[in-house]
């Protein structure tokens, strides 16, 4: 029988999401990789329990996680809930998303139609054995679907009681601004945007999304904080045989050239002086951005979650450190 650590909430920092009433842990667990079909269920369960024991009470999913067996991550998470976490449902924030290809035919392809979004969430709830999710996202901007249709569908989902809050993912500033105006007319609890963001992927700053969301009271939940493993110590000297780059399980493997390795080594030296691993500094750096409510971390084993949470022990940067990092990043 699983009994969570009684000190779990003393181990985590909780940040308010924009100007909403919801708080999320500074680190959340993303179930994109290593939780679907073909992954070790025992390991996946241990990672979820480790996270919860550390005060990580936000679990982020999507309808297509577990690809090519779409939905398998949600199914496994439902089993994990049944095997010990479900009694703590009211302590847990569960989010899921819809927007990418999911099932055959015109209604299951990549888009944001009302039919797709509502049907998809119903499927997700069945897979996880839930009456509602805490946050439901439109997963990716769809230039062919009217923003009004997407917003009204998400508003309808909230009014049905199937989601408490809504968000968008992979939306740029202009796209977020457009749908925000509609949500405000509807009085929909739109509180969050989930973009990719890291030291090596700073489009959020270039686009002005972080400043816009901070001004408008929308929180950011950022994913790929370690740039698919680049911002760890794994690639400082070579490419490990069991790494995502070696397996071809990443679309950015071609970026791992000599210049990139030199940049990673320089960042690693700054991290060492801070008493951190490179991965920990990368997480701390993201959390220094006031727009960021939570950093979504992935994991392949429980120890990685423990290491990532240790980043919270040193969140402050000196002006000199920030200048050194800026110089390395260019």
Mean pLDDT of 307-316: 98
The pLDDT value recorded for residue 155 is 98
Average pLDDT over the chain, rounded to whole? 95
Stretch 320-328: mean pLDDT, rounded?
97
Is the pLDDT at 204 greater than 80? The verdict is yes
pLDDT band at 252 (very low <50, low <70, confident <90, very high): low
Q: Spell out the long-range contacts of 231-235 with Cβ–Cβ below 8 A and sequence spacing 24 or more.
A: 231/198, 231/199, 231/200, 231/264, 231/267, 231/278, 231/279, 231/282, 232/277, 232/278, 232/279, 233/268, 233/277, 233/278, 233/279, 235/261, 235/264
Residue 237 confidence (pLDDT): 76
Residue 321 has pLDDT above 60, yes or no: yes
SS3 readout for the chain: CCCCCCCHHHCCCEEECCCCCCEEECEEEECCCCCCCCCCHHHHHHHHHHHHHCCCCEEECCCCCCCCCCCHHHHHHHHHHHHHHHHHHHHCEEEEEECCCCCCCCCCCCCCCHHHHHHHHHHHHHHHCCCCEEEEEECCCCCCCCHHHHHHHHHHHHHCCCEEEEEEECCCHHHHHHHHHHHHHHCCCEEEEECECECCECHHHHHCHHHHHHHHCCEEEEECCCCCCCCCCCCCCCCCCCCHHHHCCCCCHHHCCHHHHHHHHHHHHHHHHCCCCHHHHHHHHHHCCCCEEEEEECCCCHHHHHHHHHHHHCCCCCHHHHHHHHHHHC
Domain containing residue 19: CATH number: 3.20.20.100
Q: How confident is the model at residue 242 (pLDDT cuts 50, 70, 90)?
A: low
Residue 50: the pLDDT is 98
For 104, the domain range is 8-235+279-312
> What local confidence, expressed as pLDDT, does residue 244 receive?
59
How far apart CA 304 and CA 306 sit, in angstroms, is: 5
**What are 275's two structure tokens?**
């008493």
CA dist 135 and 189 (Å) reads 10
Cα–Cα distance for residue pair 220/238, rounded to 1 Å: 33
Is 259 contained in some domain? no
pLDDT exceeds 70 at position 222:
yes
Alpha-carbon 289 to chain mean position = 16
Angle between helix 173-186 and helix 209-216 axes, rounded to 10 deg? 20
Cβ(13)–Cβ(316) below 8 Å:
no
Q: How many domains does the chain have?
A: 1
- Indicate whether 252 belongs to any domain: no
Q: Is residue 250 part of a domain?
A: no
Apex 304 CA angle, 14 and 60, nearest 5:
50
Please answer whether residues 139 and 99 qualify as being in contact, where contact means their C-beta atoms are separated by less than 8 angstroms: yes
pLDDT in tens, 49-73: 999 999 999 999 999 999 889 999 9
How confident is residue 245, by pLDDT bands cut at 50, 70 and 90? low
Strands 14-16, 23-25: pairing kind? antiparallel
Domain for residue 306, yes or no? yes
pLDDT band at residue 233, thresholds of 50, 70 and 90? confident
pLDDT at 70: 95
Tokens 């402050």 belong to residue = 316
Quote the pTM value. 0.95
CA distance 194 to 171: 8
Residue 139 inside a domain? The answer is: yes
Q: What is the pLDDT of residues 1-25, one digit of tens each?
A: 899 999 999 999 999 999 999 999 9
Residue 295 within any structural domain of the chain: yes
Q: Is 186 part of a structural domain of the chain?
A: yes
pLDDT of 298 strictly over 80: yes
Asked whether residue 321 is assigned to any structural domain, the reply reads: no
Place 248 in a pLDDT band, splitting at 50, 70 and 90: low
Distance (Å, rounded) from C-alpha 163 to C-alpha 136?
6
Report the pLDDT value the prediction gives residue 330, as an integer from 0 to 100: 87
pLDDT digits (tens, 9 = 90+) for 271-294: 999 999 999 999 999 999 999 999
pLDDT score recorded for residue 238: 64
> pLDDT confidence of 235, banded at 50, 70, 90?
confident
pLDDT of 318 higher than 80: yes
């Amino acid at each position: 029988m699983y009994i969570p650590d009684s000190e779990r909430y003393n181990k985590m920092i909780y940040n308010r999401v924009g100007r909403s009433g919801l708080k999320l842990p500074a680190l959340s667990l993303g179930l994109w990789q290593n939780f679907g079909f073909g992954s070790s269920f025992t390991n996946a369960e241990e990672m979820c329990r480790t996270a919860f024991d550390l005060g990580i009470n936000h679990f982020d999913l999507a309808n297509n996680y577990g690809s090519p067996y779409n939905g398998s991550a949600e199914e496994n998470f439902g089993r994990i809930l049944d095997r010990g976490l479900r009694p703590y449902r009211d302590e847990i924030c569960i989010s899921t998303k819809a927007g990418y290809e999911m099932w055959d035919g015109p209604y299951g392809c990549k888009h944001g139609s009302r039919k797709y979004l509502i049907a998809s969430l119903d499927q997700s709830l069945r897979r996880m054995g839930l009456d509602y999710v805490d946050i439901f996202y439109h997963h990716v901007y769809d230039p062919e679907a009217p923003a009004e249709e997407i917003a009204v569908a998400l508003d309808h989902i909230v009014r049905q009681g199937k989601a408490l809050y809504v968000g968008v993912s992979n939306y740029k500033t202009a796209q977020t601004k457009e749908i925000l105006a509609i949500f405000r007319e509807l009085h929909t609890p739109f509180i969050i945007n989930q973009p990719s963001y890291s030291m090596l992927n700073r489009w959020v700053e270039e686009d002005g999304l972080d400043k816009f969301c901070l001004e408008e009271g929308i929180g950011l939940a950022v994913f790929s904080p370690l740039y698919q493993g680049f911002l760890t110590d794994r690639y400082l000297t070579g490419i490990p045989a069991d790494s995502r780059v070696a397996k071809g399980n990443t679309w950015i493997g071609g970026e791992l050239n000599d210049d990139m390795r030199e940049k990673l080594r320089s960042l690693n030296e700054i991290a060492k002086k801070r008493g951190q691993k490179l991965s920990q500094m990368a997480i701390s750096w993201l959390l220094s951005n006031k727009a960021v409510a939570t950093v979504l971390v992935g994991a392949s084993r429980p120890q990685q979650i423990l290491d990532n949470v240790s980043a919270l022990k040193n969140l402050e940067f000196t002006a000199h450190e920030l200048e050194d990092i800026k110089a390395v990043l260019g």
